[in-house]
Amino acid sequence: MTSEKFRLRTATPPVNRFRRSFARRCQLWRQHRLQRHFARLGAGPQVHTLGLDGTAPYLDVAGKIELGEHVTFRGITRQTLISVGANAVLKIGADSYINQGANFAVTCGVTLGRRCVVAEDVSFFDTNYHEVDQGAGVFSSPIVIGENVWIGHGAIILPGTRIGDHSVIGAGAVVRGEFPARSLVVGVPARRVRDIRCDDNFLRR
């Protein structure tokens, strides 16, 4: 009995190593496939630095995507959804991190600056899709997010929103309007509650 247990224990590590190696190879294959897909979409020369952790985003792109260096998408349990309409542009700055479940619905333009951190289930809508008041028409306006901005879990970013550098958007906030650099923005509807204390060279990761 003892020798049998010993054989089982010694046999396990090679199996685990094989599984880990196989998982890494599959992940690299998915990452390279996503890089090629973005390259075909004309996402720029930086697509070869793109990182992927888990499942690749779902892409429905008729417009244009521009990626900076070392953008990373995470999709362990669910995909990020990216829809870019004709004549619309999605720009994601270098070293930005997009967590799983994010939703980019782009009809005119969404821009994220460098080193942005987008938490799980964040949604960007640059249009309201339907008129609110009869005869008002559909409202669409670009979204511009500055550098080193952290957007918390489940936040919704609405048309025309502009957020300055080094700002933090609280979890679940529904954001519309313009907010200066170093703003802490929370609530529904979102409001600026205080300044963020940080230097110009401060990075959250």
- Just list the catalytic residues: 130
| 152 backbone dihedrals φ, ψ, rounded to 5° | -75, 170
- Cβ(159)–Cβ(143) below 8 Å: yes
As beta bridge partners, residue 59 has: 82
* Distance between CA atoms of residues 118 and 96, nearest Å: 8
Handedness of CA 9, 10, 15, 18 (dihedral sign): positive
* Distance between CA atoms of residues 63 and 56, nearest Å: 19
* Distance between CA atoms of residues 26 and 36, nearest Å: 15
- Strand 123-125's sheet: what is its strand order? 58-61, 81-84, 103-106, 123-125, 156-157, 174-175
Locate all alpha helices (DSSP H) within 72-116, ordered by sequence.
none
